[in-house]
């Protein structure tokens, strides 16, 4: 069976979801030589509204370019979490920005306050998307951190390389922590039953 990995990045317009979609596609497509298709759907608002970006990564030519059943969903606000959670396949990864998503539909969700991290540790909320991107690399092996780093450097505005690299690092760090907590959680889960 051929390999096809589907990621949806969702939230509101202005959160930079299309940009990290492009970066992911570039990392997987250009730096790792896979087939990629990145699409988006968005409303008429330049800021606000719902925004959704999808990346399909495959080892063969991609025919249908949109997601059919998600391997990973990033939800950067409550609306998108509610709306798209059901498109996740079984064992798919749900990654939420716990700064904005308070009602989480599954205990298996990975909750990281991307926006809070961006605001408090990096001083700029705008890089929350890159923090999330860092976290994404920890929950999938379709792209390596190195490729993502290169792709980020290609796409972010000149002069912002440092803060974006830091954002990526913070994302990775937070993801590792979350992973650890999840491991503990599932251990205790098995113990009690």
Partner 1 sequence: MKAKLLQGNEAIVEGALAAGCRFFAGYPITPSTEIAEGLALRLPQVGGVFIQMEDELASMGAIIGASLAGAKSMTATSGPGFSLMQENIGFASEAEIPCVVVNIMRGGPSTGLPTSPSQGDVMQSRWGTHGDHPIIVLSPSTVMECFHITVKAFNFSEKYRTPVIILGDEVIAHMREKVELPNPEGLEIIDRIKPTMPPEWYIPYENNARGVPAMASFGSGYRYHVTGLIHDVRGFPTSRPDEIEPFMHRLIQKIEKNLKDIQIVDPFMVEDAEITIVAYGCVARSAKRAVIDARKRGIKAGLLRLVTLWPFPRVYVEKVAEQSKVIIVPEMNMGQISREVKRVNEGRSRVITLNKVDSNIITPQEVFKKIREVL
- List interacting residues with partner 1 (CB under 8 A): 22, 25-26, 29-30, 33, 35-44, 62-66, 68
C-beta closer to partner 1: residue 153 or 185: 153
Residues 119 and 88: their CA atoms lie apart, in Å, by: 29
| 41 vs 188 by CB, closer to partner 1 | 41
Residue 174 is encoded by which pair of tokens? 């937070």
Tell me how far, at minimum, the Cβ of 43 lies from partner 1, in Å: 6
Q: For 19, phi and psi rounded to 5 degrees? A: -60, -45
| Shortest CB 40 distance to partner 1, Å | 6
CB of 52 to partner 1, least distance (A): 11
In the complex, the smallest distance separating the C-beta of residue 169 from partner 1, rounded to whole angstroms, is 24
Minimum CB distance to partner 1, residue 127 (Å)? 21
> How far apart are CB 97 and partner 1 at their closest, in Å?
24
User: Encoding tokens for residue 5?
Assistant: 């990995």
Q: 58 vs 164, which CB is nearer to partner 1?
A: 58
- For partner 1, give the closer residue by CB, 18 or 167: 18
Q: Output 40 or 98, the one with its CB closest to partner 1.
A: 40
Q: Three-state SS across the chain?
A: CCCEEEEEEEEEECCCHHHHHHHHHHHHHHHCCCEEEEEEEECCCCCEEEEEEEEEEECCCCCCCCCCCEEEEEECCHHHHHHHHHHEEEEEEEEEECCCCCCCCCCCCEEECHHHHHHHHCCCHHHHHHHHHHHHHHCCCCCCHHHHHHHHHHHCCCCCHHHHHHHHHHHHHHHHHHHHHHHHHHHHHHHHC
- Taking the least distance from each CB to partner 1, the nearer of 33 and 123 is 33
């Amino acid at each position: 069976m051929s390999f096809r990995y589907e990621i949806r990045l969702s939230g509101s317009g202005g959160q930079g979801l299309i940009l990290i979609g492009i970066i992911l596609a570039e990392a997987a497509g250009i730096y790792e030589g896979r087939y990629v298709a990145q699409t988006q759907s968005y409303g008429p608002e330049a800021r606000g509204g719902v925004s959704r970006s999808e990346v399909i990564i495959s080892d063969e030519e991609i025919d249908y370019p949109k997601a059919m059943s998600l391997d990973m969903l990033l939800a950067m606000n409550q609306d998108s979490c509610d709306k798209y959670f059901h498109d996740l396949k079984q064992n798919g990864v749900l990654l939420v920005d716990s700064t904005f998503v308070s009602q989480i539909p599954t205990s298996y969700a990975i909750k990281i306050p991307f926006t809070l991290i961006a605001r408090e540790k990096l001083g700029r909320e705008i890089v929350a998307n890159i923090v999330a991107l860092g976290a994404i690399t920890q929950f999938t092996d379709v792209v390596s951190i190195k490729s993502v780093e290169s792709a980020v450097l290609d796409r972010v505005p000149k002069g912002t390389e440092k803060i974006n690299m830091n954002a990526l690092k913070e994302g990775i760090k937070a993801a590792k922590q979350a992973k650890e907590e999840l491991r503990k959680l599932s251990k205790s889960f098995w113990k009690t039953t």
